[in-house]
Amino acid sequence: KIPVTAKEGLRKAANAVRKDARANTPDSGVQHKSKLKKKYGVKIIDEGLNMKAMVYNSAPHFHLVEQGHVLIINGKNCGFVEGKHFFEQTVDRYEDKFPEIIKEMVERNINNF
């Protein structure tokens, strides 16, 4: 019973990270099919006793906005565009919260036995 509830708890915690990351993601104001806010996903990797939650963004330009990039216009280097680091900041905020969320979920499920 615990592995099933642990997986559900891990998914809920990862979804909270995804929701917060969406809220912190900058918006270009232009409508297109690869909007950063719409391309977040959660994947639970279950390897027996090791479970991992992966929050990712599948937009092809995500890493450019997150980490920065060289700006080239008409073949000329026009400088470096600093990264926004919005996803990194979200993950840093949840670094302390995540163990508490999981601990609360485990305690709640142990009391239900």
Residue 23: which of 83, 81, 94 has the closest Cα?
Answer: 94
What predicted TM-score, i.e. pTM, was given to this entire model? Answer: 0.83
Residues near 16 by beta carbon (within 8 Å), at least 6 away in sequence: 94, 101
What is the spatial distance between Cα 44 and Cα 26, in angstroms, rounded to a whole number? 26
Q: CB burial class (10 A; 0-12, 13-18, 19+) of residue 55?
A: buried
- Please report, in tens digits, the pLDDT of each residue of the chain (113 residues total): 667 777 888 898 999 999 999 999 999 888 988 899 999 999 999 887 788 999 999 999 999 999 999 999 999 999 999 999 999 999 999 998 888 888 888 788 777 65
